[in-house]
């Protein structure tokens, strides 16, 4: 007999919501802004980053949900939520997040900045000298760029560009006391800094927001009007590109056209000062056709991302992270060039701890060396004045140079179009990859005729990050420089795929998306499960930006059930639920947010004792596995594998200062602070790796009491035997702490003693 009154137990989804997980990531960044252990101006930077992140979230993710609702989709996703349920959840979470952002700014950062002698002032707070300076700056630099507009039948509402900061003003005619107030709009010029530095007062560093300066002078812009109210506002628009890809040349024109349309896409969010008059809010809401949940009142300056100017404009090294100089590669005494060094051995670089200049030198050397016959390279994002870009242009004068440019690298499309055209003008053969796929792999391939024996050999650079010397200063990434014939031949095959869509049945030893990457990862995860079932060593450690693919997650669940010990280091989105009994109890997930943005992808498989380590450009997301051209490559050199395992991965697993651990219900928890002291006393992977780069630490210095991945969530106490083992390691580390170098490649102490292993208990 059926009990029709019985309540059905809620179903626990196998996967976390992608978008809610992303918001959780941004909240972890906000925690860094609120953490007094971080230098003050770095906290300001973290807050600015959260605002910039949220902009992109609304432009792409929220816009996409709204589009699905408008198109009539109502099917639930992997998280068992419909698009409307997703939108409602994201709206509620986003409003709470924005409130927390402004609490951080108003209650924590502003007072701390004031105490440090850095003041962000309103117009009424300026001294006479400062006002005189500000008015002079306004008249000379600001006023010529302003176009005041009043909204009436002859002046329709202006086309407000995406994320442009504007001022809305309620105005009434001085000679028409009965008339209803009308709306005036002024766009704040993007060409000017959002924070204006003022003459110091009593040794302080003072600033005023540009929009407040403009507000103070609006009487001159709207003569004949009285001001009823005013408020700054900003509109975020749908910035997805909707392209019909055809041939390569039309793709370039299509992207260029869509970039123009992006500036005028449908509005998805309105930010407006919280004290704005209701009439201003109502008129803006009606004009942009927004629902109530799309209005975000701000208790402070609209567009917190511009606080990055405060960080860059304020020269206070005492309020920033200590300066750090990356380790520079040193050639062997018998090497006369970087090519000689690569002839000797593979080179592994861990950026930013190892200088990115070696990668730049690799391309420059190729451009300048007459023995180099051809250069092939992918470009996804690069810096504004990229030395690599310049080297490729120069090389085209004397060599065969082929570049695959990804036009649709999000928000870098315009600059990539310019680079593509400049490269073509210089004689470079430019291609745009495979239709329907983004080219996200990071590859460079050189063909060089050896001056010694006349044989043409290939040299390759494979990386986890972009060819961007600027971001390489604060993104953690890995680079491999190699002459290994199997790898260079496979890279050559990948370039044939990108330029001619020539598919090879065998790209080994590389894993290539969309050809075989998802399949091979699934096979390697299943292989670990088979090892565990047979009682052989089985361990997976995977570091990435995001984990979202259901197929990979299900394979990890199955491996966990088979007894495989799995540690996942996932900076951002993680849809996998760890720690669920009978499903994922052998899986631990941590996110590390710190000084550097963790961008490297590392995949370790214990493989029954025959360890394999892969690096690459791909996260475990459907778009990386199936919708992009990605390359994941093996580390074949045993010494380099040891460095990755015992120095890099071990440090991340030991980190207690910047790690948050993901629980089965979706919450992230930090490691408990020590009973005495502060979070600064906890082991930090990034600080440790800086010391390694400076020659002041080795893998033997990783404290074993924090290397507890199996007990990380419960913060279990360290067994006494392990503590004793830790003391022995520290005792021996004094002799091991020497800067062993293999022509610039650091070897961990274990490369000599082979004594420290990354096992299931850390």
Is position 620 within any domain?
A: no
Q: Where are the beta strands (DSSP E) in 155-248?
A: 165-173, 182-187, 195-198, 205-209, 225-237
pLDDT digits (tens, 9 = 90+) for 503-538: 777 889 999 999 999 999 999 999 999 999 999 999
Nearest Cα residue to 635 out of 745, 739, 736, 494: 745
What's the domain count of the chain?
3
Percent of the chain with pLDDT over 70: 83
Listed residues 285, 319, 353: the one ending a domain: 319
Does residue 324 form part of some domain? no
CA–CA separation, 199 vs 623, rounded Å?
A: 50
For 461-471, what is each residue's pLDDT tens digit?
A: 999 999 989 89
The answer to whether position 332 is within a domain reads no
pLDDT of res. 422 = 78
What pLDDT score does 682 carry? 87
CA Rg value for the chain? 28
Instruction: List b or e across 539-574, with b for residues whose CB sees 16 or more CB atoms inside 10 angstroms.
Output: bbbbbbbbbbbebbbebbbbbbbbebbbbbbbbbbb
pLDDT at 761 over 80: no
Phi, psi of 3 (to 5 degrees): -85, 95
Residues contacting residue 475 through CB under 8 Å, at least 6 positions apart: 351, 352, 465, 596, 597, 599
The 10s digit of each residue's pLDDT in 58-82 is: 998 999 899 888 888 889 888 889 9
Could you tell me which residue, 336 or 261, shows the higher pLDDT? 336
CA distance 332 to 349: 16
pLDDT of residue 412: 54
Over residues 566-612, the pLDDT tens digits come to 999 999 999 999 999 999 999 999 999 999 999 999 999 999 999 99
pLDDT of residue 735: 32
Q: Report d(CA 410, CA 587) in Å as an integer.
A: 32
Are residues 298 and 183 part of one domain?
yes
Q: CA–CA separation, 691 vs 700, rounded Å?
A: 13
211 tagged catalytic: no
Please say if the pLDDT value at position 454 is more than 70: yes
Res 371: pLDDT: 97
More confident residue, 437 or 87: 87
Same domain, 201 and 165: yes
* Peptide bond just before 509 cis, omega within 30 deg: yes
Residue-averaged pLDDT of the chain: 85
Q: Do the Cβ atoms of 678 and 37 come closer than 8 Å? A: yes
Task: Report the alpha-carbon distance of residue 147 to residue 185 in Å, rounded.
Answer: 9
488/534 same-domain check: no
Domain boundary among 456, 477, 500: 500
C-beta neighbour count of 265 within 10 angstroms: 18
Q: Does the pLDDT value for residue 255 go beyond 70?
A: no
Q: What is the pLDDT of residue 714?
A: 34
**Residue 94 pLDDT > 50:** yes
Does one domain contain both 358 and 418?
A: yes
**What CA–CA distances, in Å, run from 578 to 15, 183, 673?**
10, 53, 23
Residue 625 domain flag: no
Same domain, 353 and 469: yes
CA separation for the pair 2, 5 (Å, rounded) = 9
Least confident of 356-370, 390-404, 667-681: 667-681
Is position 636 within any domain? Answer: yes
Angle among Cα 258, 263, 267 to the nearest 5 degrees reads 115
Of 526, 676, 675, the residue nearest 607 (C-alpha):
526
CATH of residue 608's domain is: 3.30.870.10
* Final residue before a domain boundary, out of 454, 476, 500: 500
Question: Which residues are CB-neighbours of 449 under 8 A, at least 6 positions away?
Answer: 371, 373, 455, 456
- Residues 540, 465, single domain; the answer is no
Same-domain check for residues 99 and 163? yes
Say if residue 180 is in the same domain as residue 245. Answer: yes
**Spatial distance between the Cα atoms of 454 and 458, rounded to a whole number of angstroms:** 13
CATH number reported for the structural domain that contains residue 310 in this entry: 3.30.1840.10
Domain span at residue 65? 18-319
Whether residue 217 contacts residue 131, with contact meaning beta carbons closer than 8 Å, is answered with: no
Residues 287 and 423 in one domain: no
Residue 354 lies in a domain: yes
Q: Please check whether residue 2 lies inside any domain of the structure.
A: no
Q: Which is more confidently placed, 262 or 678?
A: 678
**In the predicted structure, residue 375 carries a pLDDT above the cut 90:** yes
**Cβ proximity of 509 and 636 under 8 Å:** yes
* 470 and 601 inside one domain: no
Domain identity same for 48 and 113? yes
Instruction: Tell me which of 440, 461, 531, 599 is the catalytic residue.
Output: 440
Indicate the pLDDT class of residue 410, thresholds 50, 70 and 90. Answer: low
Separation between Cα atoms, residue 755 and residue 728, nearest integer Å: 12
pLDDT band at 762 (very low <50, low <70, confident <90, very high): very low
What are 605-627's pLDDT values in tens digits? 999 999 999 999 999 999 999 98
Q: Would you say residue 647 lies in a domain?
A: yes
Are residues 313 and 362 part of one domain?
Answer: no
* Average pLDDT estimate for 312-319: 96
User: Residues with Cβ < 8 Å from 752, sequence gap 6 or more?
Assistant: 736, 740
């Amino acid at each position: 007999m059926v009990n029709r009154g019985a309540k059905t137990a809620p179903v626990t989804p196998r996967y976390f919501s992608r978008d809610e997980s992303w918001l959780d990531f941004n909240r972890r960044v906000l925690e860094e802004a609120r953490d007094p252990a971080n230098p003050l101006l770095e906290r300001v930077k973290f807050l600015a980053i959260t605002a910039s992140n949220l902009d992109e979230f609304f432009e792409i993710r929220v816009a996409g949900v709204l589009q699905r609702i408008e198109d009539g989709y109502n099917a639930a996703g992997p998280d068992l939520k419909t698009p409307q349920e997703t939108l409602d959840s994201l709206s509620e979470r986003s409003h709470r997040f924005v409130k927390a952002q402004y609490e951080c700014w108003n209650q924590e950062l502003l007072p701390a900045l004031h105490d440090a002698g850095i003041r962000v002032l309103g117009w009424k707070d300026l001294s006479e000298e400062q006002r005189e300076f500000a008015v002079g700056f306004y008249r000379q630099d600001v006023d010529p760029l302003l176009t005041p507009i009043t909204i009436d039948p002859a002046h329709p509402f202006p086309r407000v560009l995406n994320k442009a900061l504007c001022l809305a003003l309620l105005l009434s005619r001085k000679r028409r006391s009965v008339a209803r107030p009308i709306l005036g709009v002024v766009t704040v010029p993007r060409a000017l800094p959002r924070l204006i530095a003022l003459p110091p007062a009593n040794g302080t560093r003072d600033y005023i927001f540009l929009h407040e300066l403009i507000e103070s002078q609006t009487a001159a812009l709207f003569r004949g009007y009285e001001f009823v109210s005013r408020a700054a506002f900003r509109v975020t628009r749908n910035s997805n590109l909707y392209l019909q890809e055809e041939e390569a040349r039309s793709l370039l024109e299509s992207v260029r056209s869509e970039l123009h349309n992006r500036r005028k896409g449908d509005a998805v969010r309105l930010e407006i000062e919280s004290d704005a008059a209701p009439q201003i809010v109502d008129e803006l809401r009606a004009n942009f056709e927004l629902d109530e949940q799309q209005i975000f009142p701000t208790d402070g300056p609209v567009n917190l991302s511009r606080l990055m100017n405060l960080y860059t404009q304020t020269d206070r090294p005492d309020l920033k992270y200590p300066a750090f100089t990356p380790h520079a590669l040193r050639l062997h005494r018998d090497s006369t060039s970087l090519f000689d060094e690569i002839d000797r051995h593979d080179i592994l670089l861990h950026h930013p701890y190892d200088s990115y200049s070696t990668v730049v030198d690799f391309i420059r050397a190729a451009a300048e060396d007459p023995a180099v016959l051809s250069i092939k390279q992918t470009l996804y994002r690069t810096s504004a004045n990229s030395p690599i870009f310049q080297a490729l242009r120069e090389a085209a004068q004397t060599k065969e140079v082929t570049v695959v440019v990804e036009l649709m690298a999000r928000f870098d499309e315009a600059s990539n179009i310019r680079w593509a055209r400049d490269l073509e003008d210089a004689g470079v053969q430019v291609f745009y990859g495979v239709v329907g796929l983004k080219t996200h792999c990071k590859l460079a391939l050189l063909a060089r005729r050896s001056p010694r024996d006349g044989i043409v050999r290939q040299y390759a650079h494979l990386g986890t990050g972009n060819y961007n010397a600027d971001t390489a200063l604060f993104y953690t990434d890995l680079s491999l420089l190699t002459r290994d014939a199997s790898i260079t031949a496979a890279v050559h095959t990948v370039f044939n795929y990108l330029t001619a869509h020539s598919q090879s049945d065998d790209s080994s030893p590389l894993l290539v998306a969309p050809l075989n990457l998802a399949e091979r990862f699934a096979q390697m995860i299943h292989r670990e499960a088979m090892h565990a079932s047979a009682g052989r060593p089985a361990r997976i450690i995977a570091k990435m930006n995001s984990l979202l693919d259901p197929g990979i997650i299900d394979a990890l669940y199955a491996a966990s059930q088979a007894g495989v010990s799995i540690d996942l280091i996932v900076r951002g989105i993680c849809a996998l639920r760890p720690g669920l009994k009978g499903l994922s109890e052998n899986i631990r997930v941590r996110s590390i947010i710190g000084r550097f943005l963790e961008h490297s992808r590392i995949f370790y498989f214990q493989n029954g004792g025959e360890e394999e380590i892969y690096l690459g450009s791909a996260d475990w997301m459907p778009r990386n596995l199936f919708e992009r051209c990605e390359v994941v490559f093996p580390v074949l050199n045993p010494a380099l594998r040891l460095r990755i395992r015992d120095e890099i991965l071990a440090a991340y697993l030991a980190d207690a200062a910047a790690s948050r651990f993901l629980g089965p219900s979706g919450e992230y928890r930090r490691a408990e602070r020590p009973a005495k002291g502060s979070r600064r006393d906890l082991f930090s992977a990034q600080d440790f790796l800086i010391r390694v780069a400076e020659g002041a630490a080795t893998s033997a210095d990783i404290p074993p009491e924090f290397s507890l991945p199996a007990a990380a969530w419960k913060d279990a106490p360290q067994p006494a035997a392990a503590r004793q083992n830790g003391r022995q390691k520290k005792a021996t580390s004094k002799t091991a702490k020497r800067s062993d170098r293999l022509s610039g490649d650091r070897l961990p102490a274990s490369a000599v003693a082979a004594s420290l292993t990354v096992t299931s208990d850390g």
